[in-house]
Amino acid sequence: MTQRPYNLYAGPAILPLEVIQQAQAELLDFAGTGLSILEISHRSKEFDKTIKEAEADLRTLFG
């Protein structure tokens, strides 16, 4: 793909291709578990780590 289209909609914005590619890869193998993030338990250590990292990132972002 040489040029991605522009999106001037009021809704979701265009994401960088790298973000989409990482999401695609994680949907197939989340954090090296061999499972999709859609398939792992919300009580697993990998999911718990992701939630804690997201919360820490939000706290940093919002101060």
39: tokens are 């398939």
For the chain, give the mean pLDDT: 90
Tokens encoding 45: 């250590």
pLDDT digits (tens, 9 = 90+) for 9-34: 888 888 889 999 999 998 899 989 99
> Is position 38 within any domain?
yes
Q: Is 40 within the bounds of a domain?
A: yes
Reported residue count of the chain is: 63
Task: Average the pLDDT over 50-54 and give the result.
Answer: 96
Q: What's the whole-model pTM score?
A: 0.64
| Domains of the chain: total | 1
* C-beta neighbour count of 60 within 10 angstroms: 8
Which CA distances in Å does 39 have to 21, 33, 48?
19, 10, 14
Residue 3 domain-assigned (yes or no): no
Band of residue 46 on the pLDDT scale cut at 50, 70, 90:
very high
What average pLDDT does range 37-43 have in this prediction?
91
| pLDDT at res. 6 | 82
Domain that holds residue 48: 17-62
